Copies of this chain bind each other. A is one copy, B any other.
Amino acid sequence: MKNEQATQLLFELSVPGRTATRWPDSDVPDRPIDDLIPSRYRAESAPSMPELTEADVVRHFVNLSTRNFSVDTHFYPLGSCTMKYNPKRHERLAGLDGLGNLHPYQREEDSQGMLQILFEMQEMLGEIAGLPAVSLQPAAGAQGEFTSLLVAAAYFRDRGEKRTKVIFPSSAHGTNPASAALAGFDCVQLDPSPTGLVDPEQLQSHLDDSTAVFMITNPNTLGLFEKDIDRIAGMVHDAGGLVYIDGANMNAILGITRPGDFGGDMMHYNVHKTFTGPHGAGGPGAGPIAVRSFLADYLPGPVVRKETAEDGTVTYRLADPPHSIGRMRSFFGNVGILLRGYFYLRTLGAQGLRAVSENAVLNANYLREKLKDILPVPQGERCMHEFVASAKKQKDERGVTAMDVAKRLLDYGFHAPTVYFPLVVAEALMIEPTETESKETLDAFSDALHAIATEDPEMLHQAPYTTPVSRPDEVAAGRKPQLTWTPCLND
């Protein structure tokens, strides 16, 4: 049933002389192109690109799309990614002419509707974080981290403090150390603790007056709430450092507890996760940050301010904070994703938002319970929005790895969980069901995993069987990477 022909590479489908698009004739007086642009600036030959018809292009990409798993088609319990349903109304509304076709340099008086939305978004994100000052500029979580660390650096600089160290637990997401390094800090990674939680004593041993920031994901990557977070925050603050909350797991605590209330000084959101972005097979995202008031003046610009005149008329303006660290990117931000987050928050309201987290936690714990006999969870009694199970038992008893289980799940019509992360758990399967999945789906997923637990290991090592491809040889691919198509590929 698959159309294999249409999913050849564009370059293989190309036929000289084919064209998909037609463009208007020039309606201005004809002049020799040399009079406009001297030939030395112009290309002698056109780039060699594929020549296709419109129908080629459509059939190619439509068929390609069917080679993806996605939230629209499959349960996608990828841990730490919050693969929740992406409401279709968001796509319709973000596409409205008044939003989709607005130029970033349109003047403020002609962008008031947009600026109002962005201002309200700042307000809502500040309230949800418990951290009042917000910048919508970061393009994704990682840039939010980087931005916050630059804010911290600027803050310490102004206070004449030379703090060089950023500390984080071993389960921290890779972007945490990477952002810290980019911001010029030295990275200190805590050793894993048996509980899966940060060990205050161990942390204490690293805290000193060179400590700039302690970065912590809470709930953490194991799906556990750092119960000592306030004590930890206190310790960091006593050492004169700042606490950064990686907000990737906010889906667990919306309206239940707030980073600002449990000691965080700075945080980022992943709008594409928590506020149903969507993910777009790798982006775009939006990583707005929220910080305490004393850090507000360092935020990157522009931010949106609301001005109310005597007569009550309201105007929204763009402004740069007084001691801004500067710009992190061109234009305002990943507005298209921020809009979707705004639509989501305006749809849910306070109670709806809290219900999101309550059900995310309920679904995770229900699934955790159903799997505990075959995929036990080493750390913790319960979990928040996700949990990290271990296939170690299956590995030891019958040589079935977490990877085998993950790949086989694809045959059952489920996307795989995140595997082999965090490293503290052997044969880790990090499972985040999200609140937009049904009990029936969780039951079916559990049934599949139970079935797999009894399937022939040899067969499992070769899984999957129903996907377009199976077990690519990544090692070989890495040895001499082929990163573009070249004609010789087809010889």
Interface residues in chain A, defined as those with a beta carbon under 8 Å from any beta carbon in chain B: 1-6, 13, 15, 53-56, 58-59, 62-63, 66, 69, 72-75, 85, 87-88, 410-411, 413, 436-438, 440-441, 444, 464, 466-467
Contact = CB atoms under 8 A, between A and B. Distances in A.
A74 B6 CA distance: 8
A5 to B, nearest CB: 5
B3 A85 contact: no
Given A1-B467, A4-B413, A59-B73, 15 more contacts: A1-B69, A1-B410, A1-B413, A1-B464, A2-B413, A2-B466, A5-B440, A15-B438, A53-B436, A53-B438, A54-B85, A54-B87, A55-B85, A56-B438, A58-B88
Nearest to A444: B5
7 contacts: A1-B464, A5-B413, A5-B444, A58-B72, A59-B72, A59-B74, A62-B73
Contact of A413 (B3, B54, B62, B413): B3
Q: Which of A13, A62, A438 has the most CB of B within 10 A?
A: A438
A6 B69 CA distance: 13
Given A1-B413, A85-B55, A441-B5, A73 B63 contact: yes
A5 B73 CA distance: 10
A58 B74 contact: no
A66 B72 CA distance: 12
A230 to B, nearest CB: 36
A117 B332 CA distance: 41
A15 B13 CA distance: 47
A462 to B, nearest CB: 15
Contacts of A464: 1
